[in-house]
Amino acid sequence: MSSKINKPKLSVLFSNPNFISPFKEHFKANFDLSWNRLPFTPPPNRWTPLLSIASFPFRLVYKKMRTLSSSRNSDIIFVEFADQTLAFASKWRKSKMIVTRLHRYELFNLPKADWSAVDLVIVVNEWMGENLELAVPFLKGKIVCIHNFVDLNFWTRPSNKERTNVLSIVGTIYKRKGHDKAIVAFSKVLKKKNDLILNIIGNSPDEKFYDDLKSLVKDIGIEDNVNFMGYASDLKLEFQKSDIILSFSEHESTHLTLFEGLSCGALPLSRNWEGVEEFLPSSNIFTDDSDFVDKVLSFYSKEQSKCIKIVDELAGVTLPLFSSPDPREMMSKTILEKYLDFKKK
C-alpha cells in the first residue's frame, strides 16, 4: 500500500514476542503499526509461588487496562495466541476488526471469548484449523492456515558438515516437551551405540522438573553422554554441531527448532504428535522408543556423504513450507484484504 494513502491502524498485542517478531516489518508495509507487549498472566497452579498467586489479580487488572489502552485508536486488533487478551478484546472492542493467531495449546483450553466478534483466525497448521472448526463451528470460513516463518538466510548449514555424534533437543523445558522420554529413549540407543551425546538446550521455569531430569540421567547412568546446556547464546552454532534434532513433545503446532535445525544441516526426528505429518515424512517420525532407536541407528549406519544427501533432500522439500511463499507477506496481505472486506459491511 502506498505511503501516501492512510494506512489502517493495526494494534498487535502479545506476551511472547518469539514467533510474531519476524512479521513486524511486513506489517509496517501495509499498516500504521502499534506494537504492544503485555504481561504474561497464566492462571496460578500448585507450582506457582505464593507471591505470584497474591499478585495475580492485580497483574490481571493491569493487563486488561493495557489491552484497552493499546487498542483504543486501532482499526484492527491482532492478538498473538488466543488467550485472555482475546477474551478481553472480543468483549470490549466489538466494533473493531479482531484477528487472532493460534499456536497450539490454546486449542485445548480455548478462552471464553465472544467468537462472533472475531473476524479472522490464523492457524499455523491444517490440523489445528480442522479441529478448531469442530470446537467452534461459528468460525467456519474465518480460519486461514499460514505456516510459521523460518529465516533460511540466518539458519544456514556449515560449509563443511562433519559428523559429531550429537543429538540435540532444543527449547524451553516443560513437561509436555517430553525431555524425560527423550532421555529414556536415548539411553536405549546407547546400549547399541555408546559414543553418542545428547545435548539438552534450554532453560526451565519448573526447577523441580529440571532437577528430576538430572536425577533421571544419573539414575540411568548416562551422565557422560548427556549435557544440560542451559541457554545457548549461539543457537545456530549448536544446530550446526548437531547431527539430529529431536522433538519428543506431547503436542506441538510446528516445533520450529526441528526446521531451524534442518536448515542448519541436522536431521529432524519427531514423535508422532498430531499434525506433524503435515511437515515431515514417516521416515522422520517415530511412534515409540523402539522405532526411535531404529531410526537413529539407521542414520548413523550410513556414510556421512549419504546422510548429508538425505538431509539436503528433506530440506528441499520441507523448508519451502516456511519460506515460499513468505508467511510474513502472506499474513500481512491476508489481514489487509480481510480488513477491506470488513469496511464494506
> What sign results for the dihedral spanned by CA atoms 320, 321, 323, 325?
positive
**What CATH number labels 166-322?**
3.40.50.2000
Q: Which residue in 98, 99, 77 sits closest to 33, CA to CA? A: 77
Work out the end-to-end distance of the chain between its first and last CA atoms, rounded to an integer number of angstroms: 21
| Cβ neighbours for 172, distance < 8 A, ≥ 6 positions apart | 202, 203, 204, 205
pLDDT at 184: 98
> Which one has a higher pLDDT value, 47 or 6?
6
Give residue 185's Cα distance to chain centre: 23
Give the mean pLDDT of 252-258.
Answer: 95
Q: Give phi and psi for 102, each to the nearest 5.
A: -95, 140
Q: Domain residues of the chain, as ranges?
A: 9-148+326-344, 166-322
Same fold, 9-148+326-344 and 166-322: yes
pLDDT at 108: 82
For residue 140, CA distances in Å to 40, 147, 208 come to 29, 19, 42
155-177 confidence digits (pLDDT tens): 999 999 999 999 999 999 999 99
Model confidence at 2, pLDDT cuts 50, 70, 90, reads very low
**Alpha helix ranges (H) inside 152-288:** 179-190, 207-220, 235-240, 256-263
**What CATH number labels 9-148+326-344?**
3.40.50.2000
What are the strands of the beta sheet with 244-247, ordered from one edge?
226-230, 197-201, 166-170, 244-247, 267-271, 285-286
Q: Give phi and psi for 78, each to the nearest 5.
A: -110, 120
99-155 confidence digits (pLDDT tens): 999 988 778 888 889 999 999 999 999 999 999 999 999 999 999 999 999 999 999
Q: In this structure, are residues 104 and 128 in contact, taking their beta carbons and an 8 Å threshold?
A: yes
Residue type (1 letter), 203:
N
Instruction: Find the helix or strand (DSSP H, E) in which 17 lies.
Output: none
184-221 confidence digits (pLDDT tens): 999 999 999 999 999 999 999 889 999 999 999 999 99
Q: Which residue in 180, 192, 271 sits closest to 226, CA to CA? A: 180
70-90 confidence digits (pLDDT tens): 888 999 999 999 888 898 899
